[in-house]
Amino acid sequence: MLSLTVIDVMVPGDGVEFSQGGRRWYHLIHRTSELPEALVGGRERTDHDCFCRTCAARPDTTDAKTMEHYLDTFTDPEALRADFAFHRNLPREATDNQALPASGLRLSTPAHAIAGGRTKGSGQAGEVEASMSRVATDVRKLIAGESGAFVPEGDPEFTTRIILEHVERCA
C-alpha cells in the first residue's frame, strides 16, 4: 500500500494562503527574479544562520558538520538558483493543486502530517495536519514537541521512528 509523509510544509493550493499573508516573508523574496541570488550569493552562511535562528527551536538544531554540508551545496550558484526556483514555482504548484480540493475528491492514501511543536510564531504545528486534511481523508497528525522547523534535523530519532511505524502500518 502506498503512504505519504509530509513534514513541515503545507500543500500549496489547498485553499489557504501558504505564505501566511506575508508572515513567511521569504516566500515572496525568494520568488522575485534575480533578487535573492544577489542578496544571498556570497552570504549563504548568514542566510542559513538567519533561518536556523528564526525557524528552529534550538540554535544547535543543525550540527556543524551538517551545516558545512548544506553550505558547500548552496555556495554553488546553480544550487542556490535551483533552491529559489522551488519558491518561484509555488504559485504554479498552488494552481495545479487547486484542482483536487475544488473537485471534492480527496486522497485516500494514509498520510502522516509531521510538524514541530515549537514553531516560534510560524504556526506550522497545526497547519501541516490542517492542510493535509483538506486534501486527504486518512491523516494522522504528529508533533515533534521539542522541534521547530527542520524536524528531521531537530529530532531525527522521532522522525525515523514515526516514518518507519507509518511504513509498517501501511505495508
Containing H/E element for 131? helix 124-135
Q: Which of 19, 45, 3, 15 is nearest to 123 (CA)?
A: 19
* Residue-number span of the structural domain to which 105 is assigned: 4-170
Q: How high is the mean pLDDT of the chain?
A: 86
What integer pLDDT is reported at residue 124 of this predicted model? 67
pLDDT digits (tens, 9 = 90+) for 107-126: 899 999 998 887 665 556 78
pLDDT band (50, 70, 90) for residue 148: confident
Q: What is the pTM of this model?
A: 0.83
Report, as an integer, the average pLDDT of 47-57: 81
Report, as an integer, the average pLDDT of 132-149: 88
Q: Point out the least confidently predicted range of 8-12, 19-23, 57-61, 86-90.
A: 19-23
The domain that holds 82 is classified in CATH as: 3.40.50.1820
Report, as an integer, the average pLDDT of 33-37: 91
**Structural domain count of the chain:** 1
